Amino acid sequence: MKLPLGVQVGDRQTLDQTYWMAEFADQNGFESFWLAEGRMARDGIVPAAIVASKTSRIKIGTGVVNNKSRNAALMALTFKTLDEVAPGRIILGIGAWWEPLASKVGLPLRKPVASMREYMTVVQALFRNESVTFDGEFVQMDNVRFDSMYRENKPVPVPIYVGAVGPKMLELSGEIADGVLLDFLLPPSYLIGAGESIGRGIAKRTDGRDSIDMNMMVACSVNDDDPQEAIDHCKAFLTQYLMQQPHIAEHCGVEPELVTRIQEVAGWPATKDDIKRAMTLVPNSLVQNVTACGSTDDVFNKLMEFHEAGVRCPVISTHGDHERTLTQIAMAAKD
């Protein structure tokens, strides 16, 4: 592919669709395949393991799991195991989770950047096959390391990509991560500040690296016969995000008044009917600024816009007709 591309899937797709999309991506030159975990809908690790067993080339990441609900040692062990299934192809994509879900399950967000630093420090040390003792505010370890009695314990080559949005988390990513998986629904203009924040972090690195990888999830929907239908699928997705994950609003150019009006339509979790009613408040221009939707040309040109703004690898999140969107983008990328 002339343009590096990844694919991200979540509970919008059935598991059968997920596995078909993974095999299609593996066979058609896509670079990476990311399994979502966010709302109380589907775990990201179980399907990642199945995708790993069904593919042979593509890199497989979680897009993203959180650093609160799994102990850091268990997370490192889980990804060590995934690397056994697909050696050298696994990426740990991790984020700080979001409200209100974090509080609803008894793990409210507190000092997300500080807790991410501690968590990643421990996981990276375990991946290096070190014995870890750590007494932090959020993470504690007492002489912990990988401990197989039957196979050699050795370093695990799993890179860590942070699902970052805000400037402080982006800066931390530049300082200690291997890459970032930027969130959905952010306009190309957002990348200017994001790159500056990452750059400040890179300047603090002590390992000699002068860059990290930048990937970004992009909501995509293609319909050459009815472009508005494709736009509406992405509009529904944006509306749902503004209802349930409003932290994204300040970064995507949405007026706070619009978020308030949308949230007046529904609480959490939103129903399909709630979203259908609220999406009438969202203009096409906003949707097309933060997603890639419409005709095949519209979508591919928008992906190129993100790429030219600094995203090395746009990661496609399909909406509407998943198979049509993925296959049309694949054909466009090969031309």
Give per-residue burial for 128-160: e unless 16+ CB within 10 Å, then b: eeeebebeeebbebeebbbeeeeeeeeebebbb
User: Which CATH topology does 6-225+293-334 take?
Assistant: TIM Barrel (3.20.20)
pLDDT at residue 268, as a whole number: 67
pLDDT at residue 11, as a whole number: 92
Please state, in angstroms and as integers, the Cα–Cα distance from residue 324 to each residue in 9, 223, 235, 319, 335, following that order: 15, 8, 18, 10, 17
Residues (pLDDT < 50) of the chain are none
pLDDT at residue 91, as a whole number: 98
pLDDT at residue 82, as a whole number: 98
145-201 tens-digit pLDDT: 999 989 999 999 999 999 999 999 999 999 999 999 999 999 999 999 999 999 999
- pTM of the predicted protein model: 0.94
Please state, in angstroms and as integers, the Cα–Cα distance from residue 326 to each residue in 233, 283, 301, following that order: 14, 25, 15
pLDDT at residue 25, as a whole number: 98
pLDDT at residue 299, as a whole number: 98
